[in-house]
């Protein structure tokens, strides 16, 4: 059995999104059902609907950073009740017993089928792929449903479910904090949240951007210093001085220019997803015992930790709130980098 609801999705790659009907599974004993209030638009959504990575299955309903209010719970659910706030990010299921899952790293699940994502993954309960948060409601296992702190503005907090955890996880893993200099490459949906989180962790935050206007905005967002990366003299001033660099850029760029900014034992962590390989010069990592690493979102426990941290420090994304009928326009603007810094859909407008 299933419940049919309205959603916004597409039937083929690079085709405009439209209102459609989709099916949600009926409540299982360990399920939480909630009405979706707000859903962020991530660059990954754009990649998926364009099938840029060749992994798209259609019809597709994007959306993997959304918050709502619980409307029903299964008979075995103990941590949610009707009326509570709930949220879902990228992960909605995993095998639960592999090495990664046992260590709260569900994003790296090694079991059969791997991690089930909130959209465009094989659905274990329905004869279809999972459908995401561009929709009226969602059903998720309690274990993978997050508690959204009620102190945060819900619309502005929705992007934390992807952008927040994507930068929080490497900042925590590589030890950002007092006495460390953290560089943020790129000020977009990920980068602007990384500035806020790194500063709240106590680090000295330096932003590197190709945009002169964003040099100014970086200070508003909380950066201690901002560097125009196209200026050789400004870049040279930070050579061998940065402990951790979070690289949020999803386009091709000269990675060696940033590797050379790392201090001894420094790490550059890639969280953006360039479609083409990045060429790394051997001497740029050998010199100073530098590391070039990557990070991919975070597990469920760490995502909840991130939400609690952001509530404690009053951290949310800078957003532009849109209605459901503006989604295609938002995707076009996102493709042209015309957003400061995240679109969020008011799902109540999907009537």
Give 267-316 as a DSSP string. Answer: EEEE-S--SSPPP--HHHHHTTT-EEEE-----HHHHHHHHHHHHHTT--
Tell me the CATH number for domain 163-294: 3.40.50.720
Q: What pLDDT score does 1 carry? A: 67
All structural domains of the chain with their residue ranges: 2-162+298-349, 163-294
CATH class of 2-162+298-349: alpha beta
CA pseudo-torsion sign 155, 94, 33, 83: negative
Q: If you ran DSSP here, which 8-state letter would residue 36 be given?
A: E
| Residue showing tokens 């900042």 | 171
pTM of the entire predicted model: 0.96
CA pseudo-torsion sign 198, 202, 206, 211: positive
Residue spans of the chain under pLDDT 50: none
CA distances from residue 279 to 183, 211, 256, 329 in whole angstroms, order as listed: 20, 23, 8, 34
Q: What pLDDT score does 61 carry? A: 98
């Amino acid at each position: 059995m299933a419940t049919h609801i309205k959603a916004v999705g597409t039937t083929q790659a690079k085709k405009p999104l439209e209102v459609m009907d989709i099916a949600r599974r009926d409540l299982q004993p360990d399920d939480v059902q909630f009405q979706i209030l707000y859903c962020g638009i991530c660059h990954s959504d754009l990649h998926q609907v364009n099938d840029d990575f060749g992994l798209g299955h259609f019809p597709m309903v994007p959306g993997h950073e959304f918050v709502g209010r619980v409307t029903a719970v299964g008979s075995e659910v103990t941590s949610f009740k009707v009326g509570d706030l709930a949220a879902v990010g990228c992960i909605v299921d995993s095998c639960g017993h592999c090495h990664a899952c046992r260590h709260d790293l569900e994003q790296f699940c090694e079991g059969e089928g791997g991690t089930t994502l909130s959209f465009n993954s094989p659905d274990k309960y329905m004869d279809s792929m999972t459908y995401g948060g561009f929709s009226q409601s969602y059903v998720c296992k309690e274990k993978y449903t997050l508690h959204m702190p009620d102190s945060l503005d819900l619309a502005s907090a929705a992007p934390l479910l992807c952008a927040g955890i994507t930068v929080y996880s490497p900042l925590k893993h590589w030890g950002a904090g007092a006495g460390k200099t953290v560089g943020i490459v790129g000020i977009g949906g990920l980068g602007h949240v990384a500035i806020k989180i790194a500063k709240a962790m106590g680090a000295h935050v330096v932003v590197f951007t190709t945009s002169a206007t964003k040099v100014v905005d970086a200070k508003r967002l909380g950066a201690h210093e901002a560097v125009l990366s196209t200026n050789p003299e400004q870049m040279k001033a930070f050579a061998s001085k940065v402990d951790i660099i979070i690289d949020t850029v999803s386009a091709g760029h000269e990675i060696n220019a940033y590797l050379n900014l790392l201090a001894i034992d420094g790490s550059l962590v890639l969280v953006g997803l360039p479609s083409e390989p990045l060429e790394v010069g051997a001497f740029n990592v050998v010199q100073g015992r530098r590391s070039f690493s990557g990070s991919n979102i975070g597990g469920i426990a760490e995502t909840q930790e991130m939400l609690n941290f952001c509530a404690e420090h009053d951290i949310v994304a800078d957003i532009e709130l849109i209605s459901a009928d503006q989604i295609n326009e938002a995707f076009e603007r996102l493709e042209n980098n015309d957003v400061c810094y995240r679109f969020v859909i008011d799902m109540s407008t999907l009537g």
